[in-house]
Amino acid sequence: MARLLGAIMAGGRATRFGSDKAAALLDGRRLIDHAIDALSPHVAAIAICGRTEEAYLSLPDRPGPDMGPLGGLNAALHHAQAHGFDGVLTSGCDMPFYPADLPALLIGERAAILDGQQLLGWWPAALAPELDAHLAEENNRSIRGWLARTGARTVTLPGLVLPNINRPDDLAAIRRDRG
């Protein structure tokens, strides 16, 4: 059985949201706490990438700040590789749900993401040096470019619709739906 690190990507600026998205409340709890609870059953340990959370391993973006989600992923891959994890399951701090059957669909020999949710993914720890090389090159550092470089698979879960929380209205809609 693979030893997995869970990485919550939490280093974004949340410009469309207008405030600290990870700290926004859903059902009286921060979005990042929902994301941690949703991912935790599937992994041996959790790391928070791009911000400090006192109760958790917090990893600064690598090789430096303002690298976007790839900086957080790079930090998680290097931590995984250095600490005996086979790979990293990722989620965003604004992803309060993580489908129970998703890890089994994602985990494999090569990277994989959930269709339409590029931060919900599987990344073998062996990709750490490749991501270093990718980030050192002249490119736009987009997740799409990284997906193309790794030949990541795209996984679909028929009928699954996960919330995309980019603006306060998106969070308000989830609250209404749950209310």
Nearest to 104 by CA among 83, 89, 126, 124: 89
94 is in an annotated binding site: yes
- The DSSP code for 31 is H
66 assigned binding-site residue: yes
Rounded Cα–Cα distance for residues 45 and 42 (Å): 9
* Helix orientation angle between 128-136 and 143-150, rounded to the nearest 10 degrees: 130
Tokens of 101: 């059957």
Please report, in range form, the residues annotated as the binding site. 21, 66, 94
Please report, in range form, the residues annotated as the binding site for Mg(2+). 94
Please report, in range form, the residues annotated as the binding site for GTP. 21, 66, 94
